[in-house]
Each structure stands twice: as C-alpha cells, then as structure tokens.
Structure 1
Amino acid sequence: MSNLLSIGASGLNAAQVALTTVGNNISNVNTPGYSRQTVLQTENMSNSAGRYSIGSGVDVQSVQRAYSDFLTSAVWSSNSGVQRATTYNNLTTTLNSMLSASGNLQSALDGFYGGFDTVANTPGVASSRQSLLGSAGSMVTVFNTLAQQFTSQQSQVNSQIGTTVDSINTVASSIADLNAKIHQAGTNVPNDLLDQRDTMIQTLSGYLGVSTYAQADGTISVYASSGQALVSGDKSFALSTGTDRYDVSRTVVLDTTGTDITSKLSGGTLGALLDYRSSVLDSVQNQLGQAAVALATSVNTQQAKGLDLNGKQGGAMFSVPAPNVLAAGNNKGSASVAASITDVSKLTTSDYVLSYDGSNWNLATTAGQSVPMTSNPDGSYSADGLTFSLSGTAQKGDSFQIQPTRAAAGGLTLTMTDPNGIAAATALTSKAASANTGTSSIGAVTVDDPTNAALLSNATLSFPTAGSYQVTDSSGNVLSSGSYAPGQTISANGWSVTPSGTPAANDSFAVGINANGLNDTSNALAMAQLADKGILNGGKQSVVAAYGSLTTNIGTVGSQAQTNLTTQTSLYNQAVSAQQSVSGVNLDEEAASLVRYQQAYQASAQIISTSQSIFSSLISAIHG
C-alpha cells in the first residue's frame, strides 16, 4: 500500500508543479522578456519484485525555459538595427525640418542675384541699390540661421552620445550583477534571472551593437562592436566620454584604457549618433559653408572688377572667416599653421589632417584618404584650393585638423553698408585713336587681376606694324610687347583685351578708367550672372546649384533613413515572431495544459484515496 501511496503522491506533486508552472505562464503572458516554462518529468526507478518490476511513480527533474540561443541572438541583432534606424531617421527628420524652419535660402539667393538685375536696369535709382543691400542682408541671415541650427544639432548629438554611454554602462553593470547571481545559483538557476539577463542584453543591444559568448559557468560575456569587453563574468567595464583631440566641443567615446574607439563603434542608438554626425551633419555644415565661401568670393571678386558710384574700384561686399585650424592636444612642438582659401574652384567639402612625420608634412582627409600637396617657393603648401603657411618648429607626430568651410556659413557677414559702394559699372574702357586706319577694334576690357595696383592706370595699346603690338603706360614705359596675330589676347596691368579685325601700322587704343561709370551697369549684369556661373567643382557648379545639391542630398538621406527604418522594423518583427513562436506563451495551449494537469492532479488524488481505502479495508479485515 505504501508503494501505491507514494506513486499517487509523486503524481500529485508532479501535477501540482505543472499546474503552478502553467499558472505562472498564463500570468506572465504580457510580461516583456518572459520565456514560457515547461516541466520536465521522468519516471522513477522501478522496484524489482522477482519475476517482474513495478514502477515507483514520477519525478520532476526541472522547470525549463522554452528557449533558443539562435533566435534570441537574432532578436538582439535586429533590435540593434531597428534602434539605429529609428535614431538615424529621427535625426534626418530634424535636419529636413531645419531647412524649412530657418528660411528659404533658395528664394533668398534668387532675390539677391535678381537685385543686381534691378540695379542694372535702373542705374540712377538709389532705392534699387538699397533694396539690393536689403536682399543681401536677408540672405546672410538665412545662411547664419541655418548654420546655427546645424551647430545646435551638433551640440545635441554630442550630448546624446554622453547620455547613451551612461545608459550602456548602467545596463552592463546590471548584466554583471545578474551574472553573479546566476553563477551563485549553480545548476539550479531560477528562470527569472535568465530572462532578466536576456532582457538586459536586448536593452544593451538597442544602445550599441554587441556580441555575446556563453561561458561554461553559466555567465555571459558581452562585447561591443569595437571588440571592447563590456561584461565578463561578474565584472563590467565602463566606457567613458572625452573630447576630440582636435575639437574640444566634440564628444568621443573612450574604452577603459582611455583609447578613442569612436570610429570602431556601430549599431544601436550610439552607432546612429556617431555615424550621422560624421557622415551627414559634418558634410552638411561643410557644404553650406562651401556655398557661403563661393558666394562671398565670387561677388567680392566681381565687385573689384567694377567701379562704384564714387568712381572707385569696388570694395568687398561680404566677409567669411578663414578656415579653422585646430592643433592636436598632444602636439609637442611649437609649430603653428594658418590656412587660407586661394582657389575656390578646387575647394571640397572635406576636412583634413596635416601631420608631421619627423621629416615631411603630409595631408589626408579626416576619412584617411591621402591628398598630394604642392610645395611653394615661400615655404607654404597648397592642396585642394587651400594654402597652408607654417611657422615654428614641429616635432614628429604633431598634427593639425583643417576645417576649410565648417564655420563659413555661420560667419558670413555683409560688410557693405553704403549702397553707393555697389560696383555696377565696368572698371575699364577702351577708345580707338581717331587717326586709326585699320579695321581692328578691341571692345570690352576684361579685368583679370583686380588686385593689380596699376589696374586703373591709363595705358596705350599700339601696333607699330600690323604684325606687332606694344602696351605702354602714361609715361611711355613699355609694359608688354610682341608679335601679333588676329584674335590674340593681349594683357597688361591686370587686364586683357582680344582685338578683332586687322590693325594697320601705328594704330592705337587708349585703355583707362571708365569715365561713364554713373551710366554703365555692365558689371552689375556680370554679378547677376553669377547666379548661373560655375564657381565650384572646377568651375562647373554655381552657388545656386550647390545649395540645390545640398537640399537634394539632405532629402535623399532622409528618404533612405525612412526606407531603412521600414526594413529594419520588418526584420525585427520577424525575429521577434520567430523567437516568440518558441518562447512565447500561447494561451490556448496553456488552457489545454491546465485542464490536462488538473485531471492528472485529480487522478493522482484518487490513487491516494484508493490506497487509503484499501489500507483501511485491510486493517479492518485483520482486526475483524
């Protein structure tokens, strides 16, 4: 009877454990990270009774999680992807909003260049010149506002990087604590600790791409995408933030040794922040600055080729700051570098690192692409439209970061306040001598070098013979001479002419300052045409086109981010669905199990009751 009683008791215990487990599954059906649990039952060892053996009931070996390492790892990986895509999409959405919230730069550019047309059509109307300056001021404001918005987002991204690193360290510490508890539990590990650890790792994967390795002692080691260990056993290894070696306003991520691992991190929110900052925001700021530099340089150059209402050579209308030069914080030498933009047509949107190897200076983009430099006679170097002037003594390993256009849009300034300073007239004109007998004429005088000190000085172009020419100044000094062929360009004092027709011997032309400046507006027309004139990219792209390219790029980045978010969300949902098909709680299944184990419990109770009844009958028979 005792054997039958123990069998019933074992069945009762097994059914009770199973009922409790099913009840726990049902109550946690909506608990994030919960893995369905099942009872593992085994048959007890049989008792031998001579020619046969009798079973001795059931034993509950364990309560196990329904779990798949592969599917859970897939969820962690896809979670990293979807969180990265979400953060990236949010950042690009904000960037697109900035373009509309900061004013319409396209309209401002159109209004500015159109103002020169108005001045050209109404040369004597003061209000036209004043309106042009007003349009210029409005355009500068839009440039400045956009630049401020981009700089503000840089600050926000830097702040978010610091916050995310703090979150990573907090979660990593929690995983290490759970590892310690799981290790202490030995072979009888509570399933809730395992679920909690999985949930923490999934949370961590949302902040940063991670990889894991299960140790033999039940703990899990977690590594960042850089290879840096974040958790090992019961210890966590905190990341930290610091400032960029060149730019102290820029946040970088450091490992436990203080090494900058920013470029090695990817995935999750942190990966999105770092990638967006380097591949999108930096580029956008540089592109806007490039357009500002091109605008200021081209207009100022054309201004200098004309005369203002005071009959003077046109002055600068805008100013832009020089390129940023940032010395590395660990430089040991006394060298300093000054950078200037000398050829806008060769200017790129890259930032550079100028480094000294102990013998030579080398230039590379911040992305690591080597850039050849030209050595100039004065000891400076030139590359990509930039000139670097060095002073002091450098030591091996010293370096400088060059940001040619990063601050240009924010520092763009309208320096002209007097409407009379607009150089609407061409600077130079020519006049044929009355005694000329040939058919030659020289037409417009082109200003090639507005910085030439003798530009506005009177000069005479003469043809001693039909096949020769000479240019002399007002004192008769020869400035230029040589043989001549029809269609040949002749230059002197920073100007040039291309005569047409055939000169006769002793024909001459006077070249000098434009005496009809008040009524001449040809230089204003030339400035209006700058809207469509190629200035950047080797003279192929105008300022207006450059801004159009910028807005297109931003729109494309935003569209790609939205598409990627949709894709990553789908992948994440698929991974979760696959994982939940194994680990998730199905209420229909649990309800069926509840009935099954309830019946088993009742049947086991009936075995015990039967055993007791038989035992009572036996006792009664013995004492009867």
Structure 2
Amino acid sequence: MADMLSTGVSGLLAAQVGLNTVGHNVANANTAGYSRQLVNFVARMPQGEGGYYIGTGVDTQSVQRAYSQYLNTALWTAGSGQSRATTYQSLTGQLNNQLSGSSNLQTSLDSFYGAVQDMANAPSDASARQVLLARANGLASTFKSLSGQFDQLSQGVNRQIGDTVNAINSDSQSIAKLNEQIRTAYSSSQGEPSDLLDQRDALVKKISTEVGVSVVPQGDHTVNILVGNGQALVNGTQSYALGTAPNVYDATRLEVTGKDTGTVISGQIGGGSLGALLDFRSGVLDPAQNQLGRTALAMASAFNAQHAQGMDLNGAMGGNVFSVAGPTVQGASSNLGSGTVGASVGDIGKLTTKDYVLSYDGSAWGLRDSGGNSITMAGTGTAADPYTADGLSLVVGGAPSKGDSFRIQPTRTAAAGFGVVITDPNKLAAAAPLVASVGSTNKGNASVNSMAVSDPSNAALLNPSSIVFDSPTSYRIDGGPSQAWTPGQAITNNGWSLKLDGAPATGDSFNIKANTNARGDNRNALALGKVANLGVLDGGNTSVGRAYGQLTSQVGSAGSLAKDALTTQTGLYNQAMQAQQSVSGVNMDEEAANLVRYQQAYQASAQVISTASNIFNALLGAVKS
C-alpha cells in the first residue's frame, strides 16, 4: 500500500508542476522575449517483484524553455537589419524634406534668373535692378538655410550617436550581470534558469537593434558580445564600454571609440541604429553638404566671371555680385609640427564632392581622398608653384613633423558662406563695356560677330583701338606690327576678344571704344541670363541648375533605396519572428489543452492517493478486529 501511495503522490506533484508551468506560460503570453516553458517527466525506476517489475511513479526531470539558438540568432540578425533600415529611412526622409521644402533652391534659382531677364528687358529701370538684388539676397538666404538645415541634421546625428552609445553601454552591463546570475544558477545544479535566459536574450535582441553584434556562447553558459572587428562589449561577467570622442580634424563631429583603448571604430560598425547613423552621415549627408557647396561655388564663380565682363551705370567694370566661402583646412589634433596648408579653388571645372587628407611622411606630402585613394599632385607646393589636384591649389609651409596631416574640405562650408556683395543696384553691370564698329569706307563684307572681354582686370581694356587690315589675311592694331588672320580667328588686345564674320578687304577698319551708352545697353545682362545653363562643373559639362539636380537626385535615390531596404528588412524580420515564435511563443489553445490535461492528471493522482488511503485504513481496521 505504501508503494501505491508513493506512486500517487509522485503523479500529484508532477501534475502540480505541470499546472504551475502552464499558469506561468499563460501569465507571460504577452511578455516580450518570453519563451514558453515545457515540463519534462521521467518514470521512476521500477521495483522488481519476482519475474516482473512494478512501476513506482514519476519524477519531474526538468522545466525548460522551448528554444532554438538558430532561430533566435536569425531573429537578432533580422532585428539589427530592420533597425538599421528604419533609422536610415528616417534620416534620408528628413534630408529629402529639407530639399523639397520651402527653401527649395531650384525655385530660388528660377526667381533669380527671372529677375536677371527682367533687368535685361529694361536695363536702366531702377525697380528691375532692385528686384534683382532682392532675388540675389533670396538666393543667398536659400543656400544658407539649406546649409543650416544640413548642419542641424548633422548635429542631430551626433546627439543620436551619443545616446545610442550610452544605451549600448547600459545593455552591455545588464547582459554581463545576467551572465553572472546564469552561471551561478547552473553551477547550483538546480536546472535551467529559463527566465534569466529569456531576459538575457531580450537584451541581446535589444542591443542588436542598436548595433550589429556577434554573439559567442561560452561553455559556462555565458555569452560574449562582440562588435566591429572584435571589439568586446561583453566578455563573460565583464562589460566593456564604448565611448565617443571628437573627430581628429573636427571637434564638433563625434566618432565611436573603444572607451578603454580610445581607438576609433566608427568605420568598423555596421548594423543597428548606430551603424545607420554612421553610414548616413558619411554616405549621404557629407556628400550632400559637399554637393550643395559645390553648387554654391559654381553659381558664384560663373555669375561673378560674367558680371566682371560688364559695365555698370557708373561706367565702371562690374565687380563680384556674390561671395562664397573657400575650401576649409583642418589640422589633425595629433599634429606635432608647425606645418601649414593653404587651399584655394584653382579650377572649378575639376572640383569634386570629395574631402581630402594631405599627409606628411617625413620627406614628402601625399594626398588621399575620402575613400582612401591616392591622388596624384602636380607642382611643388610653393606659392609660386602650388600643388594642384582635382581643381585644388595647395600651398604648404612651416615645419611639419612626420605623420602630421590636414583634412581639406573644398566645398563643405561654401553654401554657408554664400552672400551678396553688391548693395547698390546701379553697380549691376548690365551693359557691355566696349562697342565695336565697322569702318564707314569698308569694301569687304566682314561684320562683327561677337565682342567679348577676356581679361576684365586689364588696365587698358577701355582704351580705344583701331584694327586695319593690310590684306584680307593680315591686320594691324593701332599701327602696330602686322598679324596674320584666318576666318573665324579671334582678334585679341588689351583684355578683349573680337570675332568677325565674312571676308575683310584690304584697307578695311574696325574700331573698338568704351561704351558710352551703358544705361540702355543690355548685352551683358543677356549674357548673365545664359549663365543659368552654362557648363561650369565637371569639365564644363554641368551647369548650376544641373548640379542642384544631381544633389536632389542622389538624395532622392538614397531615400528610395532606404524605403526599399526597409520593406525588405521588415519582411525578413517578420519571417524570423514568426519562425522563432512558432517554437518559443505561447500558444493559448495549446496551453488550454495542457491545463485540462494536467488538471485531470492531478485529480486522477488525488484519487489514487485517496484509494490507497482507504485500502490502508481498511487493512488497519481488519487487524484491530
């Protein structure tokens, strides 16, 4: 009878464990990261009775979570990808909104060139000139506004990098503490600490959304968490913090470092929101800022160059209409020498959207672009013979030390420094400075095709000149030496250039003199209007408007790709979550069935115990009687 009672008690206790586990599963059905728990039973060793065995009941062998390391790892990876895609899409969306918002640069360019055309239609009208100045200031405000918005977005990225690093460090500490608790629990031989394991997995999943990590299980049931190229975040029960430090060239720009070593690991980080922040900054925002600056440089350079070829209402040659910031040079904070680097734009047609690093190896200077590619330089680096590369002119000086370096950003701050120099509308040079006329006694059919200024700084530009042809193929200027001429060839002198159509005859003359009717002349204003479509960048193939179109296109393309990536990553995450939950998730129907099953087992075991008690009592009663 004692064996029957023991058997019933074992079944009752086993059913009780099953009921408690089902209740725990149901209670945590909506707990994030919870893995349903399963009870494993094993039959007790039977007792031999002659030629047979009698069972002695059941033992609860373990309570374990339903878990797949493979599926959980896949979920962490998918979560990291989705988090990165979400952050990246949000940032590119903000940048697209800035470009398409009220500060749309194309609208400002159209308004400005519309005002240039209005001045060309009425070059002496004061109101048309005043409107043009207002539109010029509006264009400058748009450049500055966009640059300011880009800077604000960059500052926001900096703040998010700092906040994300802090969150990663907090999660790393928590994982290390759980590692210790889990290792202690296993060493106590009390079975699997399922809830502690779930808490750790939930933190691993969270940290994987913050940064791409590698999870390495250890033999003592702890896990190591690695980031980048092996930087440890968690090693057993010890956590290692990430840090942030100012960029070696720009103190306003944060880089991610190993806090203990100080080594910059920004370039090693991928995945998660931190990877998205760093990738967006270097892959989208920096090129966008550089392209905006390149557009500003092209606008100022092309318009100023054409304006300088005209004459204003005061009879003076046109000056600069726009000012723009030049290249920025930043010395590394680790520099030990006293070397200096000066940078300027030498050929805007060769200017790129890249940044560069000029380094000194102890004997010579070397240039690399932002992608780490070596750039060939011409020249010797002196003021008389500067280094030239990709449209830049670089002058080095001082006494640099081996390893010193300087970052050069040709266009990064150009838009922020874009401004209008002219405040007096009378100084807008709508007229051409020179007038070319055909001699009244000419016998040939040659006529003036074009009159252009090639060097507005020439002191003799406005001096009168006379061109007399000695023969149909030679001419003299102001009685000077005879010069050969072929049809289509430009005749140049004192900073101007003249082209003729037709064939001149011997003795034909052409006269050049300063324009005395600048008030009603619109020739330079018409030329200024053509600057809108003038090829300035990329070897003369890209106009200012097209350069801005390239900016909107590259940002728009990045945004479109980010949306597609988010859709893809969300689908992968949902699939991974569904697969993981199919194993580890709580199924209420299944738990309801288990509840009934364990309840019936409990009741049946209680009945066995009751029966054993009744039989035992009957036996006692029989003995007493």
- Coarse TM-score class (shorter-chain normalised): over 0.9
- The answer to whether the 8 A contact 1:331-1:397 is kept is yes
**Which residue number in structure 2 is paired with residue 279 of structure 1?**
283
Spell out, residue by residue over 1:582-603, the C-alpha distance to the aligned partner (whole angstroms, 9 max, x if none).
Answer: 0000010011111111111111
Q: Report matched runs for 1:18-37 at 5 Å.
A: 18-37=18-37
Spell out, residue by residue over 1:309-328, the C-alpha distance to the aligned partner (whole angstroms, 9 max, x if none).
Answer: 11111011110011111111
| Offset, 1:82 | 1.0
Spell out, residue by residue over 1:141-175, the C-alpha distance to the aligned partner (whole angstroms, 9 max, x if none).
Answer: 11111111111111111011011000000000000
Spell out, residue by residue over 1:352-405, the C-alpha distance to the aligned partner (whole angstroms, 9 max, x if none).
Answer: 111122232222211212222221672311111111111112222111111111
| Offset, 1:528 | 0.7
Distance 2:103 2:403 in 1: 44
Q: Secondary structure at the match of 1:551?
A: helix
**Which residue number in structure 2 is paired with residue 566 of structure 1?**
567
Distance 1:47 1:457 in 2: 127
Q: Percent identity?
A: 51
The aligned amino acid for 1:160 is Q
Distance 1:354 1:566 in 2: 41
Spell out, residue by residue over 1:245-290, the C-alpha distance to the aligned partner (whole angstroms, 9 max, x if none).
Answer: 1111100000131111101101111011111111111111111111
| Offset, 1:235 | 0.3
Distance 2:30 2:287 in 1: 45
Distance 2:199 2:399 in 1: 58
**Which residue number in structure 1 is paired with residue 342 of structure 2?**
338
- The answer to whether the 8 A contact 2:161-2:277 is kept is yes
| Offset, 1:477 | 6.0
| Offset, 1:115 | 1.2
Asked whether 1:449 is paired with 2:466, we answer: no
The aligned amino acid for 1:243 is P
Distance 1:386 1:351 in 2: 11
Q: Secondary structure at the match of 2:249?
A: coil
- The answer to whether the 8 A contact 1:348-1:384 is kept is yes
Q: Secondary structure at the match of 1:615?
A: helix
Distance 2:333 2:159 in 1: 21
Which consecutive residues of structure 2, in runs of 5 or more, have no partner in the other structure? none
Distance 2:239 2:480 in 1: 83
Farther-moved stretch of structure 1 (341-350 vs 512-521): 512-521
Q: Secondary structure at the match of 1:400?
A: strand
Asked whether 1:243 is paired with 2:249, we answer: no
The aligned amino acid for 2:265 is I
**Which residue number in structure 1 is paired with residue 412 of structure 2?**
406
Which consecutive residues of structure 1, in runs of 5 or more, have no partner in the other structure? none
Farther-moved stretch of structure 1 (213-222 vs 357-366): 357-366
Asked whether 1:415 is paired with 2:416, we answer: no
Q: TM-score, normalised by structure 2?
A: 0.96
**Which residue number in structure 2 is paired with residue 227 of structure 1?**
230
**Which residue number in structure 2 is paired with residue 191 of structure 1?**
194
Farther-moved stretch of structure 1 (603-612 vs 485-494): 485-494
**Which residue number in structure 2 is paired with residue 144 of structure 1?**
144
Distance 1:384 1:491 in 2: 30
Distance 1:465 1:96 in 2: 63
Distance 2:511 2:253 in 1: 59
The aligned amino acid for 2:71 is L
Distance 1:396 1:16 in 2: 76
Distance 1:427 1:502 in 2: 26
**Which residue number in structure 2 is paired with residue 358 of structure 1?**
362
| Offset, 1:506 | 4.1
Spell out, residue by residue over 1:179-200, the C-alpha distance to the aligned partner (whole angstroms, 9 max, x if none).
Answer: 0111111243421100000000
The aligned amino acid for 2:212 is G
Farther-moved stretch of structure 1 (452-461 vs 389-398): 452-461
| Offset, 1:100 | 4.2
Q: Report matched runs for 1:303-322 at 5 Å.
A: 303-322=307-326
Q: What is the root-mean-square deviation in Å for CA atoms of aligned residues?
A: 1.7
Farther-moved stretch of structure 1 (335-344 vs 158-167): 335-344
Distance 2:20 2:208 in 1: 33
Distance 1:181 1:508 in 2: 102
**Which residue number in structure 2 is paired with residue 374 of structure 1?**
378
**Which residue number in structure 2 is paired with residue 61 of structure 1?**
61
**Which residue number in structure 1 is paired with residue 552 of structure 2?**
551
Distance 1:124 1:220 in 2: 80
Asked whether 1:488 is paired with 2:489, we answer: yes
Distance 2:495 2:48 in 1: 118
The aligned amino acid for 1:469 is Y
Spell out, residue by residue over 1:501-543, the C-alpha distance to the aligned partner (whole angstroms, 9 max, x if none).
Answer: 2333343323232233222111000101111221122211211
The aligned amino acid for 1:283 is P
Q: TM-score, normalised by structure 1?
A: 0.96
Aligned residue-pair number = 619
**Which residue number in structure 2 is paired with residue 128 of structure 1?**
128
**Which residue number in structure 1 is paired with residue 44 of structure 2?**
44
Distance 1:513 1:395 in 2: 55
The aligned amino acid for 1:32 is A
| Offset, 1:560 | 2.1
